[in-house]
Homo-oligomer: A and B are copies of this chain.
Amino acid sequence: MKILGIEHIGIAVKDLDTSSPFWSHILNLQHKGKETVQDQGVLTDIYDTTQGKVELLQSLGEDTPIGKFLLKKGPGVHHVCFEVDDINKAIKELKELNIQVLSDTPTVGAEGYKVIFIHPKSSGGVLVELAEKP
């Protein structure tokens, strides 16, 4: 598979109102927009560095991946996303290499990217997302 770069870092936050000023007003990152991803039970708030984005993630409820993460670990880095040229080719390769992916087919994430997640067991404790640009 061909990794094209770090697409974004996903950061779990308790609430966007208190968390976003650090990224917008201290680091002065460019705001790209907010978007609800119902599939993942999350409200995203995206900032661009021009070389990789920061995606703040506020859960839509306790029984969502981000809700559970916050209860267990508190706010912080939730996942790291890499852009790939071909998501279906990547899934096929990962399965052949016995890497545990969390779904057999890509789902649609923020900004319309086709995404899958690799289980942290396969990647040394890091939840890795792979994403193909729409």
Segment from A5-13, A34-42, A59-67 that makes contact with B: A5-13
Chain A 48-92 interface mask (CB, 8 Å, partner B; 1/0): 011110000000000000000000001111001011000000000
Q: Does A3 contact B (CB under 8 A)?
A: yes
A1 touches B28 (CB 8 A): yes
The total of chain A residues at the interface (CB under 8 A) is: 38
CA distance A13 to B124 in the complex (A): 7
CA distance A3 to B22 in the complex (A): 13
From B5, B11, B99, B125, give the contact of A76 (CB < 8 A): B125
Using known A-B contacts A5-B49, A49-B82, determine if residue A99 contacts B11 with beta carbons closer than 8 Å.
no
Using known A-B contacts A26-B94, A77-B80, determine if residue A51 contacts B52 with beta carbons closer than 8 Å.
yes
Measured CB to CB, the closest approach of chain B to A15, in angstroms, equals: 10
From B52, B97, B128, give the contact of A5 (CB < 8 A): B52
B77 touches A124 (CB 8 A): no
Question: Residues of B contacting A82 with CB < 8 Å?
Answer: 27, 49
Measured CB to CB, the closest approach of chain B to A65, in angstroms, equals: 16
CA distance A5 to B18 in the complex (A): 23
Q: Does A120 contact B (CB under 8 A)?
A: yes
